[in-house]
Amino acid sequence: MNMPLMPRPGSDNGTTAPSRWHARLSLGIKRTPRGSRVASAERFGPLHLQKPFYPEGPDLAHLYLLHPPGGMVSGDLLEIEARLEPNTAALITTPGAGRVYRARPDRTLQHQRVRLEVGEGCSLEWLPLETILYPGARTRLEVDVELATNARFIGWEVTSLGLPAQGEGFGRGELQQRLQIRREGRILLREQLMIDGRSPALLMGKAGLQGQPVNGLLVAGPFTPEQAEPLLEPLRACCERDELLAGVSLSGEFLLIRTLGCCSERTRLCLEQCWGLIRPELIGREACAPRIWAT
């Protein structure tokens, strides 16, 4: 099913001005005799799902999320939901970088909200390409993951602040970014970043971003300490090869890789190499990069 849902005029699901969009995409992944299939894809506004690909066979779907406008302006709200029913597997990515443009003078928020429900015996990989925040953007980015008891998750975020290639920093910009993982209602992991470009302490400080415009985070788990320990040194060596400021740690049941650098492509390639080390141990599959990453 691929059903466009039309926002009702005057409702919260509608647009309050021609240049403000509320877009929503809700996916349901179900186990069938033909493998992991998209059983439902309900949407309204400019969010779409491309035809699923199966480069690893029928049991794991590669899903590409499309946002034709290519970026968010003041007042935009993008909502993405994915529900994996028991014993399914999916990798979700995007064909290009997301962009958040300079906010209007009224500083209206630009908001992206992602909710992922991962059922019993499932694996989900949330691997979008980078998000570029233009100078003066005012943004909230949220990812909430709900795991069943034996579900597995790998996710990353790469965020580029300002337009460093043009010599423009993130001055006057604001960012509220959160990634939260829960199981049976209990918070297992919560990562939060709050940046105000008008206050340089976090952007430039040694305890902050150290003047680096690109930050990356990869989260994978759950692992037991015995499963995670053999991965720590190979992951650290992988990060050192890419000459990024990087750290690898185990927080509770989750491996965390944090990076700082000046290039979003280099950051993503580093995280992709780390994903290639983690994936066989966590979900029992060798890395199979989505074809769209090579274009």
Label residue 10 by pLDDT band (50, 70, 90): very low
Task: Check pLDDT > 90 for residue 243.
Answer: no
Instruction: Tell me: cis bond preceding 105? Omega within 30 of 0 counts.
Output: no
Among candidate residues 63, 71, 92, 100, the one with its CA nearest the CA of residue 195: 100
Q: Where are the domains of the chain?
A: 21-294
pLDDT for the residue 12: 38
SS3 at position 45? coil
pLDDT in tens, 48-73: 999 999 999 999 999 999 999 989 99
Task: Check pLDDT > 80 for residue 262.
Answer: yes
Task: Check pLDDT > 50 for residue 16.
Answer: no
C-alpha span between 89 and 126 (Å, rounded): 11
Q: Which helix (H) or strand (E) holds 279?
A: helix 264-283
Rounded to 10 deg, the angle between the 225-241 and 264-283 helix axes is: 150
pLDDT for the residue 106: 86
Label residue 295 by pLDDT band (50, 70, 90): confident
Task: Check pLDDT > 50 for residue 17.
Answer: no
pLDDT for the residue 112: 98
Rounded to the nearest integer, the mean pLDDT of the chain is 91
SS3 at position 224? coil
Name the β-bridge partners of 255.
Answer: 220, 250
pLDDT over 70 percentage in the chain: 94
pLDDT for the residue 9: 33
Task: Check pLDDT > 60 for residue 4.
Answer: no
Among 7-21, 26-40, 84-98, 216-230, the minimum mean pLDDT is found in: 7-21
pLDDT in tens, 202-237: 888 888 899 999 999 999 999 999 999 999 999 999
- DSSP state at residue 110: E
Name the β-bridge partners of 155.
Answer: 126, 219
Task: Check pLDDT > 50 for residue 14.
Answer: no
pLDDT for the residue 19: 62
Among 94-98, 141-145, 195-199, 265-269, the minimum mean pLDDT is found in: 195-199
Q: Which helix (H) or strand (E) holds 97?
A: none
Among 12-16, 180-184, 266-270, the minimum mean pLDDT is found in: 12-16
Evaluate whether 124 touches 116 at the Cβ level (below 8 Å): yes
Residue scoring higher pLDDT (241 or 248): 248
pLDDT in tens, 114-126: 999 999 999 999 9
Task: Check pLDDT > 90 for residue 165.
Answer: no
Name the β-bridge partners of 165.
Answer: none
